[in-house]
Amino acid sequence: MKTYEMLINGALGGAISGETIGSINPATGEVVARAAWGGEEDATAAVDAAEAARGGWRDTSVGDRSKLVSRLASRLRERAGDLATLETADTGNPINVMTGDVFAAAGALDYFAGLGTELKGHSVPSTAGGLRFTLREPYGVVVKIIPFNHPIMFSGAKIAAPLMAGNTVVLKPPPQAPLSALLLAELAADVFPAGVLNVVPGPGATVGHALVTDSRVRRIGFTGSVETGKVVMREASAHLADVSLELGGKNPLIVFPDADVEHASEAAVAAMNFTWQGQSCGSASRLFVHRSMREEFVDRLVERVEALKVGLPDNVETEMGAIISSQQLERIMSYIEAGKQEGARLLTGGEQPRGDDFARGYWIAPTVFVDVTPQMRIAREEIFGPVLSVFEWEHEEEVIRLANDTEYGLTANIWTRDLNTALRVIPQLEAGYTWVNGRTEHFQGLPFGGHKQSGQGSEEGLEELLSYTQTKSISMLPGR
Ligand code: NAD
């Protein structure tokens, strides 16, 4: 069985302790492959390497940086099949969407590779005797920490901006599914000069903690839960590293009475991201349906949810796969129990699907609750599982209040054919990204980031690139 290695200072190798772990296939409970398992000393070695490489990479022209970042994109495309297969086995996500994640990673690398010349400063009105202008400089060592739901997409996409901005990077993959990031490390090992990209898998409490608290790390980009994001921010404050946070969501989808039931119910299922078993920050897990159409809408919704093909992730027909781990399964089931106990009505799902395919691994059928009220836990907390809560509403100001009644503010969706409704409602929704008649698609260049406790900063656009730079002001006078 293969053991995937970490990447430090341009060399692939094992952990200093020699430790490895078997990474589990969530659909079967079997070990997919082994992974080198880092500790604090590996994290420190990676920062040593990134620190040593930062001067050379800073002084590499944006043209040359761009070539290397694009080369990694090409390598990912060449190995898209292998990456998708490995990712499917390691995450439980269906194979039919995994190639898309690999191409999204490659697309983001190419997008940022093309933005190098946007790393611009500006000049201020200068006198005859002097010039005053700014430069955008890299921070130096950047740490990127990513969650389990899209490991290969995030491993590629989230290193692109800091590398292009001239920073060296230490990437920490998710402990539940580290393998695709380590295959990316293999593909990247001879692309960049030693130390420019380092990949160290391991537990958050040791590797993550060591990276965040290392005072040589000047900038941290974290994607994960609100809870861990707060820990990261608190710990990074000891040496005042700059931190950006892409955190959780409890996202509303509001269906207005003029929406078409067919299209809107299809979108509500797509926007819930059942494809990733609902393990998606952007999942529209709170669905607000207008009272006038509630019955017809909910009937259609449940039909669609029950038609989803839940199955083994490596089957190309599968539309929804396995839950990442037994802990996550238990967590989701505890929310389903809470929903029932607090008086919500379970219309479908809520238990393991039936059939031989589900005898092993971690499974929950796609689940829909109705009669959900705002105080219930399933209405307030991010479940990060395939559980959709349906609310009923009558008046516009009421639904806007309900939609905003959460600590989260990641995304929002509205379905209406009335332009005036959209124009009126969009500014009132407390969310970083709003779709009108959409399905939670992302568009490279359109920034993605949370308001309120869903995060700080935004990614996927020019702002992300610039956020990995700091400004230097220069006042230049003639020599005498
Ligand atoms: P998590 O917070 O448990 O873990 C995320 C990462 O942080 C992992 O790599 C983990 O090992 C690491 N970590 C844990 N403790 C740490 C510590 N003390 N110091 C440093 N690093 C530490 O999140 P998860 O369960 O992997 O992912 C699910 C969460 O991620 C959800 O809340 C989801 O909404 C969020 N998410 C947000 C976005 C976004 O773009 N906003 C995208 C995907 C996922």
Q: What is the mean pLDDT of residues 36-51?
A: 99
Closest C-alpha to ligand 1, atom 13: 204
Portion of the chain with pLDDT greater than 90, in percent: 98
Residue 126 has pLDDT above 90, yes or no: no
For residue 139, the model assigns a pLDDT of 98
Buried/exposed code over 134-167 (b: 16+ C-beta within 10 A; e: otherwise): eebbbbbbbbbbbbbbbbbbbbbbbbbbbbbbbb
State which of 21, 222, 281 you would mutate to test the pocket of ligand 1, scoring each by most atoms of that ligand within 8 A of its C-beta: 281
Closest C-alpha to ligand 1, atom 14: 204
pLDDT range class, residue 34, cuts 50, 70, 90: very high
For residue 127, the model assigns a pLDDT of 81
For residue 480, the model assigns a pLDDT of 85
Question: Cα of 223 to ligand 1 centre, how many Å?
Answer: 5
Q: If DSSP codes are grouped into helix, strand and coil, which group holds residue 59? A: coil
How far apart are alpha carbons 114 and 96 in whole angstroms? 29
State which of 150, 211, 223 you would mutate to test the pocket of ligand 1, scoring each by most atoms of that ligand within 8 A of its C-beta: 223
pLDDT range class, residue 280, cuts 50, 70, 90: very high
* Ligand 1 site, CB within 6 A: 145-149, 172, 174-175, 204-205, 208-209, 212, 223-225, 228, 231-232, 246-249, 281, 382, 384, 410, 450, 455
> Which amino acid appears at position 361 of this protein?
G
- Ligand 1 atom showing the smallest separation from residue 328 Cα: 25
Question: Cα of 387 to ligand 1 centre, how many Å?
Answer: 20
Q: What is the mean pLDDT of residues 109-131?
A: 94
Closest C-alpha to ligand 1, atom 11: 204
Q: What is the mean pLDDT of residues 84-92?
A: 98
Question: Cα of 146 to ligand 1 centre, how many Å?
Answer: 6
pLDDT range class, residue 378, cuts 50, 70, 90: very high
For residue 37, the model assigns a pLDDT of 98
By the 8 A CB rule, do 24 and 203 touch?
A: no
How far apart are alpha carbons 432 and 89 in whole angstroms? 32
Active site residue 407: no
- Ligand 1 atom showing the smallest separation from residue 231 Cα: 18
pLDDT range class, residue 48, cuts 50, 70, 90: very high
- In DSSP notation, 221-266 reads EEES-HHHHHHHHHHHTTTT-EEEEE-----EEEE-TTS-HHHHHH
Residue 128 has pLDDT above 90, yes or no: no
pLDDT range class, residue 129, cuts 50, 70, 90: confident
Phi, psi (deg, nearest 5) at residue 266 = -65, -45
Which residues lie closer than 8 Å to 58 by C-beta, 6 or more apart? Answer: 137, 138, 140, 166
Structure tokens at 309: 């093909």
Nearest to 394 by CA among 473, 287, 260, 288: 288
For residue 396, the model assigns a pLDDT of 98
State which of 42, 91, 145 you would mutate to test the pocket of ligand 1, scoring each by most atoms of that ligand within 8 A of its C-beta: 145
For residue 147, the model assigns a pLDDT of 98
Mean pLDDT (the chain) is 98
- Ligand 1 atom showing the smallest separation from residue 174 Cα: 9
Ranking 24-33, 124-133, 154-163, 359-368 by mean pLDDT, the lowest is 124-133
> Which amino acid appears at position 57 of this protein?
W
Question: Cα of 325 to ligand 1 centre, how many Å?
Answer: 14
Residue 216 has pLDDT above 90, yes or no: yes
Phi, psi (deg, nearest 5) at residue 70 = -65, -35
Q: What is the mean pLDDT of residues 47-70?
A: 98
Buried/exposed code over 266-280 (b: 16+ C-beta within 10 A; e: otherwise): ebbbbbbbbbbbbbb
Question: Cα of 444 to ligand 1 centre, how many Å?
Answer: 22
Question: Cα of 224 to ligand 1 centre, how many Å?
Answer: 2
Active site residue 398: no
Catalytic residue (choose from 40, 246, 392, 464):
246
- Ligand 1 atom showing the smallest separation from residue 227 Cα: 2
- Ligand 1 atom showing the smallest separation from residue 455 Cα: 41
Portion of the chain with pLDDT greater than 70, in percent: 100
CA dihedral 356, 328, 442, 7 (to 10 degrees): -100
Catalytic residue (choose from 5, 40, 87, 281):
281
Closest C-alpha to ligand 1, atom 43: 281
By the 8 A CB rule, do 372 and 390 touch?
A: yes
Closest C-alpha to ligand 1, atom 32: 225
Closest C-alpha to ligand 1, atom 22: 204
